Amino acid sequence: MIKCFVINLDHRKDRLKRIRKHLNSNGLYFTRFRAVNALETNSKTLTKNIVKYGPLGKISIGDMACFQSHLMLWKKIYKTEKKPVLVLEDDACVSKRGFELLKNTNWIPKNAKIIKCERFGNKRHRVLLSPKLKSINGFHLHYLMSKHSGTGGYIVTPNGAKYLVEKSINVSVPVDHFLFNPNNSIIFKNLMPLQLYPAICEQVDNSSDIHIHREDFSYFSLSDILREFKRGYYEVKFLPKQLFQFLFMKYRLKKIKVSE
């Protein structure tokens, strides 16, 4: 079985209990990785490699802490691991077929850096995927070619972890956009993230410890309105390229579903 790390805040013992029961009962045993708590960490530590404002607006301390949690784990992985590792956040739920797939790592391409294993977003959301690169027992690997947020579940190789650590400088977006959003990630092109289709996990707990730190949008705030216009620009700037890929390169828009 693949080695697994679960990122978990000290005070979220409820989530730890749930995911331990879920994973262990399916034969997947994990190592808990202590998450960075935004309220217990000083600003200097949170912002040491992160700028406060970026293409999506102000980065909340919750998003900063989340990024630092993943970054610390990447450092551990590239220094200590020899094989690909599954990274889960503590609200992830893995499918039955997902557990079967995770029994070995032989299917993971040697040159892969990171594979997104989850489905994120509402059920209407579609993601642009390249033609399939590989098939494994009903699963397919594609290059991810459009935004698919979330870091609830992904596989990272030691080489991929090393690359992410080296590139985590002057970061201006939350960690999920850094990894899986070509519209505003400066590393996306070289990271070349893969998408597992169908996905094998999704986040199931809506009680987020990140969202509570984000500022609410106000129609009476000029800065909020300008921020949304800026976000809109980043959302559509690659649309001509993506349209070309869809029309002439056999790339396809797919609803990401979770396997049974």
Q: Where are the domains of the chain?
A: 3-255
pLDDT score recorded for residue 23: 98
Q: Are 12 and 94 in contact (CB under 8 A)?
A: no
Angle, in degrees to the nearest 10, between helices 61-80 and 158-167 = 130
pLDDT score recorded for residue 234: 55
Q: Which residues pair with 252 in a beta bridge?
A: 129
Q: How far is CA 37 from each of CA 43, 49, 66, 212, rounded to the nearest angstrom?
A: 11, 17, 8, 13
C-alpha span between 68 and 64 (Å, rounded):
6
Q: Which two tokens stand for residue 228?
A: 């949304």
| DSSP strands (E only) in the chain | 3-8, 30-34, 53-54, 57-58, 85-89, 92-94, 114-116, 126-129, 134-136, 139-143, 153-156, 194-197, 201-203, 252-255
Question: Three-state DSSP class for 157?
Answer: coil
Q: Are 86 and 4 in contact (CB under 8 A)?
A: yes
C-alpha span between 252 and 211 (Å, rounded):
31
Q: List the one residue out of 136, 49, 30, 144 whose CA is nearest residue 87.
A: 30
Q: List the one residue out of 164, 183, 163, 165 whose CA is nearest residue 173.
A: 183
pLDDT score recorded for residue 217: 44
C-alpha span between 186 and 196 (Å, rounded):
22
CATH number of 3-255: 3.90.550
Phi, psi of 86, deg, nearest 5: -90, 125
Q: Which residues contact 30 (CB under 8 A, 6 or more apart)?
A: 4, 5, 6, 19, 20, 23, 88
DSSP conformation class of 110: T
pTM here is 0.88
Residue reference for tokens 């013992």 = 13
Q: Are 155 and 87 in contact (CB under 8 A)?
A: yes
Segments of the chain scoring below 50 in pLDDT: 212, 217
> How many residues does this entry show for the chain?
260
Q: List the one residue out of 81, 78, 72, 141 whose CA is nearest residue 109.
A: 141
Dihedral sign (CA 179, 138, 104, 15): positive
Q: Which two tokens stand for residue 42?
A: 């000083």
